[in-house]
Every structure is written in structure tokens, then in C-alpha cells.
Amino acid sequence: MNLCDMKTIRDIMSIFHLSAKKEFGQNFLTDAAVVADIADSAEGAHTVLEIGPGLGVLTRELAVRYPTVKALEIDDKLLPVLKYTLNDMPNARVIHGDVMEADLEELLAEDFAAGGVSVCANLPYYITSPILMKLLESELPFDSITVMVQKEVALRLCAGAGGKDCGAITVAVAYRGEAELLFTVPADRFYPAPKVDSAVVRIRLYKQKPVVPRDEDTFFATVRAAFSQRRKTLVNSLMTGFSQIPKERFADFIAELGLRPDIRGEKLTVEQFAALSDLIYTEIHK
């Protein structure tokens, strides 16, 4: 079955009375070489978690390469389609659900125990950052996370903390692993075609994180707060995120770290975010 072929896609949509749903970010891949390259990126995996299998084009390629594939799909209308398109792939299991609600630790418990779990997904654009933040904050021991995202988001993922284009998601990526932009994908390789080009990014997660903050929840809360008010200084952004701490304490923290009082969040490295979050944690728990 060639799920990249436009006639096959149209036939399936017609037989199952479907149309691509904008609200679920449904842009189906139609380029077999791109699908194969994304599937290859989980090299060495035992289990691959796919988020949003759609019609099953990537799921099939993953199931050919890896022993176990678990694919989480929110749209119940796609379940009978996936039953049909994955009929000859017994190692691919489709789970109906919203990735933002799913208990991934439970879903992948046996797979994590065996080791070698990676993520591969052509992500729905409307919810890219929340999904990635969930995966990165989860502390789940994925080997790698490969995602297709809008090109500008891909650049942000790979920007490195402290660099241009840096956002909360950049710091979260840099904290958990090393990101590389594998290749870009023009908009006309999807049906329907989105308005912008895309790119595929692979994040190889550290087995041992180089930076270890005292409390991870406070670390992520600090990063989120720092980027919550784009035009404000770091001190003003942090005040909004941690209203229980007086403003002058943030000025003290910034001075203690040897930073300029008017510095903005995008200038901080992962190490500086960790040090800052340690000071905030101590302040909250004194």
C-alpha cells in the first residue's frame, strides 16, 4: 500500500468519508523519501512512540524498521482507517487518545524497562510546543525525539540557550539533549499543503545531564517565567512568575550570578538558568 500516492489518499478519504481536519493539524505526508528519512532517524530503537499517525504513512515505515510501534491518535474517525492501513503490521499498535492527556509512563512502562525507546512524529502544528515541553519535562528516558515542525520552530529548537531565536523551548531542549536539524521539507510535500515549510529535528537525549538543578520543577518554572513576557527584563518577567518573592530579591539573585540588572531571559545559558532556579528554590523554601 502506497500511502504517499495522492490517488490512494483520495480513495481512502472518500471510502471513510473523511476530510483533513484543520483543528487537529492534519497535513499528511506525501513524499516517500521524507517518510523513510524520518523513520530512519530512530536508528537502534526497540520501541518507537509515534504521535499522530494520521493515515498511517509513517507508522508503516516505522513498523518495518522497529520491533514495536505505539501510535497515539486523537481523531476517532482515523481509527478504522488505521485498522485498514496497518492491517499487515501486527507490531504497530494504535492507541486512541490526546497526547497531552496520555500517561506516557504507563503506556511505555514495559518498553522503558527493556530500553531503547524513541519518539518519531510529524507533529500537529497547532500544539507543537506544548507536546515537546511535555516530552522534555517528563523525565522519561527516551533515547531520541525526532519531530517534524514548522521551519521557524525547528530553528528555535536548535538555537542553543543564550543564542538568537532562543525561547523557553530552546532551553528545555538544551537542558535535556542535543538537537540537530536533519533536513527541511517544502510545503508541497503534504496534503493539504500548509502555508509554511517544515523541518525535521532530532534531539538525542543525554543519559547523564551535564547540568543538574536542585529542583527540576523550579528549573522549568524559572525558564517559563523568564520567557513569559518577551519585551520585559528578566527581573520583571520573574516577578510575574513568582509573585510570592519580592522584586528586590530577584535583583540580588541576578547580581549574585554576575549578570547585568537589565538582562533578558534569552541571554542566559542552561547553567545560569539552573543556578538562578537554585536561588529561587532556596528563597521559596527558607
At 187, is the secondary structure helix, strand, or coil? helix
Query: CA-based angle 178:181:187, to the nearest 5?
Result: 145
Count the residues of the shown chain that bind ligand SAM, applying the rule CB under 6 A.
23
3-class SS string, 196-208: CCEEEEEEEECCC
Among 45, 49, 81, 99, binds ligand SAM (CB under 6 A): 99
Q: How far is Cα 158 from Cα 174, in angstroms, rounded to an integer?
A: 8
- The cell numbers describing 169, all together, are 523551548
In terms of Cα–Cα distance, which of 241, 232, 238 is closest to 262?
A: 232
Dihedral angle of Cα 118, 122, 125, 131, to the nearest 10 degrees:
-10
**Is 61 near ligand SAM (CB under 6 A)?**
no
Q: Minimal distance in Å, beta carbon 78 to ligand SAM?
A: 6
**Is 58 near ligand SAM (CB under 6 A)?**
yes
**Is 26 near ligand SAM (CB under 6 A)?**
yes
The smaller minimum CB distance to ligand SAM, of residues 154 and 274, is found at: 154
- The cell numbers describing 268, all together, are 542566559
The smaller minimum CB distance to ligand SAM, of residues 27 and 218, is found at: 27
Name the closest residue to ligand SAM (Cβ): 52
Residue type present at position 259: L
Among 39, 72, 199, 280, binds ligand SAM (CB under 6 A): 72
Choose one: 68-76, 161-169, 174-182, 199-207; the region binding ligand SAM (CB under 6 A). Answer: 68-76
Residues of this chain that bind ligand SAM (CB under 6 A): 24-29, 51-54, 57-58, 72-75, 78, 98-100, 122, 124, 127
